[in-house]
Structure 1
Amino acid sequence: MIRHLVLFKLNEGVRRDDPRVAAGVRTFEKLGEEIPELRFWECGWNVSDRPIAYDFAINSAVDDQAALRRYLEHPAHQAGVAQWREFATWVIADYPC
């Protein structure tokens, strides 16, 4: 299994109640049901207000590198990435679990 973690930081001036953000969250919330390669899927807002904290996180898992590639290339994932690209930046980590 491979754990796929993503931490999102909203761009300067973008708030959680921005309609684009709300739409992006809804898109990501559905991915666990839409992409068969996902063995585990959760996402949500960070509750920490520390200055170094990111705003939103995805925690997911896939079987192997091939499944990770299929997930990343899946049209539903790509649609979510396109939405989030408008208002956030992110970092990722993929590691065996």
Structure 2
Amino acid sequence: MIRHIVLFQLASADPAEREAHIAEAGRRLRALVGVIPGVRSLDVHANALDDERNSDFAIVGDFDDLAAVEGYAVHPAHVEVIDYIATIRKDGTRAAIDVEV
């Protein structure tokens, strides 16, 4: 199994807007489970520590294998979510890692 973790910083400084953006990203991502083959789970987690060095939220997904991660990356339903996240994140703040678990 592969765990895919992606970190972002949000563009907005407004606390209520930030919370709403993270919630919407989570809703959209969780809706992909059962739609994209090989996706076991997807969730979004907000940063709990108020430290400007930290990312604001993380996407954590579990996949059958690396081929499933690669298929997810280009799947049209996922691309729609990417397009949404591009509207709420700071440019150039994406970091990711894929690990075997």
Is TM more than 0.5 here? yes
Which structure 2 residue ranges, 5 or more long, are not aligned?
none
Matched length:
97
**What residue in structure 2 maps to residue 7 of structure 1?**
7
Q: Provide TM-score, normalisation by structure 1.
A: 0.79
Kindly indicate whether the alpha-carbon contact (under 8 Å) linking 1:32 and 1:42 is maintained by their aligned counterparts in 2: no
Which structure 1 residue ranges, 5 or more long, are not aligned?
none
More strand by share: 1
- Aligned residue for 1:77, secondary structure, equals helix
Q: Provide TM-score, normalisation by structure 2.
A: 0.76
| Structure 2 Cα separation of the partners of residues 85 and 51 of structure 1 | 20
Pick closer, same or farther for the CA change 1:63–1:33 going to 2, 3 Å.
closer
RMSD: 2.4
Percentage of matched positions with identical amino acids: 32
Identify which of 84, 89, 96 aligns with 1:92: 96
